[in-house]
Amino acid sequence: MGDGDQVPVISASEIAEYSYCAVSWHFERNGRSASSPSIERGNQKHAEVGRTLTEVERERQVFWLLTIVGYGLLALALIILLWGLT
């Protein structure tokens, strides 16, 4: 490398932006306009994925709640059954 060469610096926040959307990061990094039909479609797709992830997380929480309730009811049934046998 010569004296005039600069090593590109990438910050931690840029890494986070890249991991969220590499295309958006690339556009911002190269000074391109962030408003075009394809960017708008990308924004809509990101919003759709975000809604899906929120729904999946909610369903996961419900699954674990129902699992815990199910095990609790199973334990209660066993206690009642064993109490009735004595």
Rg (CA), the chain: 26
Whether the per-residue pLDDT at 76 is higher than 90: the answer is: yes
pTM exceeds 0.75, yes or no: no
Distance CA 8, CA 1 (A): 13
pLDDT tens-place string over residues 27-70: 888 877 667 787 788 889 989 999 999 999 999 999 999 999 99
pLDDT tens profile 4-26 = 678 878 888 888 888 888 887 88
